[in-house]
Amino acid sequence: MKRTALLLLSLAAVTARAEDPKPLLAVPGKVILEAKLDGAPGTPWKAAKGKWEAAEGTMRGSEVAEDKHGAVLRIPNKMQDFTIEYEFKFDGARSTSLSINAVKDHMARIMITPKSVTIQRDDNDHEGPDKSVVFARFPADLQPGTWHKIRLDMVGDKMYGQVDELAAWGASELFTTPKASPGFTVGGQSVCFRNFVLREATLNPGWEAIQATLPKPGEKVAPAAAPKGAGKGKAKAKGKAAAKKGE
């Protein structure tokens, strides 16, 4: 009986290790927050905009028209080096993102539409001289109702973003500053989420070998899809760009 119990414990330990994420830019460490997202969000999640609810054993986020802003859900954590993983599926939405803030304003995100995946450094001052930097934009075909896996590593001055097999990296001095309030955005109706894990992280000693297999920042940037109504006036285009930034 004791030998059987020890064997079961050993198998459980092996299974747990097998499920640990592999080192990429980051070597994932201690779990900071793990959430199945199998219902409506509770503490520590904070909904800034939109509707967030339970949906068939997952969490669903939807934009609310009256908000005139994409749905936003964040946790209040302040971090330095970390890795995040979770799964999502489109259920009618036009976009979703994993967004990371700086102490003031935005820092970085993985922006996803059914037809593209973008890894970028965000505009950090909106109306000032700073501009967003797209490290990569890949064409994609993310069908509604299909689960996809996302991973974001941020260590030192670098970020690594991956959605399924689409992966890229980039670097910025901004990334060396404190990071805050990781969270989801949803544009339109709607996106489901599950199995969120936030971990501490350290730099992977083997990162250079992985980096060599990835596109250089800016090397793979597919054209952005033109918004509906493009070309019907600068004022309208500017307004749409501003709305897009707010998601």
pLDDT in tens, 178-218: 999 999 999 999 999 999 999 999 999 999 999 999 999 99
Query: Hey, is 179 helix, strand or coil?
Result: strand
Q: What is the pLDDT of residue 19?
A: 65
What is the bridge-based pairing of β-strands 82-90 and 148-155?
Answer: antiparallel
Torsion of CA 132, 152, 97, 137, to 10 degrees: 60
Q: What is the pLDDT of residue 130?
A: 85
Is the backbone peptide bond immediately before 44 cis, with ω within 30 degrees of 0? yes
Q: What is the pLDDT of residue 183?
A: 97
DSSP one-letter string for 150-169? EEEEEETTEEEEEETTEEEE
pLDDT in tens, 42-70: 999 999 999 999 999 999 999 999 999 99
Query: Is residue 165 within 8 Å of 142, Cβ to Cβ?
Result: no
Q: Outline where the chain has alpha helix (H).
A: 2-19, 207-211, 234-245
pLDDT in tens, 79-88: 999 999 999 9
The rounded distance, in Å, linking the Cα atoms of 69 and 118 is 20
Q: What is the pLDDT of residue 84?
A: 98
Query: Is residue 175 within 8 Å of 157, Cβ to Cβ?
Result: yes
Q: What is the pLDDT of residue 20?
A: 79
Question: Residue 106 pLDDT more than 90?
Answer: yes
More confident: 130 or 78: 78
The rounded distance, in Å, linking the Cα atoms of 197 and 213 is 26
Query: In the chain, where do the E strands start and end?
Result: 26-35, 46-49, 51-55, 58-62, 71-74, 78-79, 82-90, 93-102, 106-113, 116-121, 133-139, 148-155, 158-163, 166-171, 179-188, 191-203, 220-221
Question: Residue 239 pLDDT more than 50?
Answer: no
Mean pLDDT calculated for residue range 94-102: 97
Residue type, 139: P
Question: Residue 243 pLDDT more than 50?
Answer: no
- DSSP state letter for 114: T
Give the CA angle between residues 164, 147, 107 to the nearest 5°: 55
CATH superfamily of 19-239: Exo-inulinase; domain 1 (2.60.120.560)
Give the CA angle between residues 73, 236, 114 to the nearest 5°: 45
The rounded distance, in Å, linking the Cα atoms of 197 and 205 is 22
- 34 token code pair: 């793990």
